[in-house]
Structures are given as structure tokens and as C-alpha cells.
Amino acid sequence: MDEILKRLKQLSDEIDGEVTDRGRVIDDLLDLRGEGEGAGALLAAIDVALTELPGQTVVPNEWWRSTLESLGAAALLAGETSRAV
């Protein structure tokens, strides 16, 4: 889970301006989904983000930043759950 958290921080640090290309956000979410295989809470959160993705060509960075924070919380939850098993 540490790698996922590092990747989420990196993506957040890369946010610049008011919007991000929608295709890039989709690619990043799908990459995270591939990296988070087996982390149910994280995968569910990514799936929700993909279905609620705003915009047709760009995504407001306010939404993207908030989503990355939510994914971080889900990743922490998934990490705690896997340690308890």
C-alpha cells in the first residue's frame, strides 16, 4: 500500500492550474486500479471515481485533488483491512 500512497502523493503534487485533461485522469485512475489489485476498498473507490468523473474533455483540479485524497483514505483502509486478515 505504501507504493499506492506514494503514487497518490505524486499525482497530487503534479496538479497544476485549474483543470487536467480528462484522458490523463482516466489513465491515472486505471493505472492506480491495476496497482491496487486485491485492495477492495481502494478498487471500489476508484470505480466510483471513474463513474462520477466530471467533464467531457477536462476535469476540474478541485475534484481531482479531492478524489486523490479520498483514494488515499481508501488505500489506508485497505491496508489496515489486509493486515487484520
For residue 85, pLDDT beyond 80: no
Across 2-11, 55-64, 72-81, least confident range:
72-81
- Mean pLDDT for the stretch of residues 6-22: 97
30-74 pLDDT, tens digit per residue, is 999 999 877 888 999 999 999 999 999 999 999 999 999 999 999
Question: Cβ neighbours of residue 78 under 8 Å, at least 6 residues apart?
Answer: 1, 36, 39, 40, 41, 42
- Mean pLDDT for the stretch of residues 16-42: 94
CA dist 70 and 17 (Å) reads 20
For residue 81, pLDDT beyond 60: no
Coil, helix or strand for 19? Answer: strand
In 3D space, the residue among 46, 36, 84, 51 whose CA is nearest the CA of residue 68 turns out to be 46
Q: Which sign does the torsion angle of CA 62, 53, 8, 82 carry?
A: positive
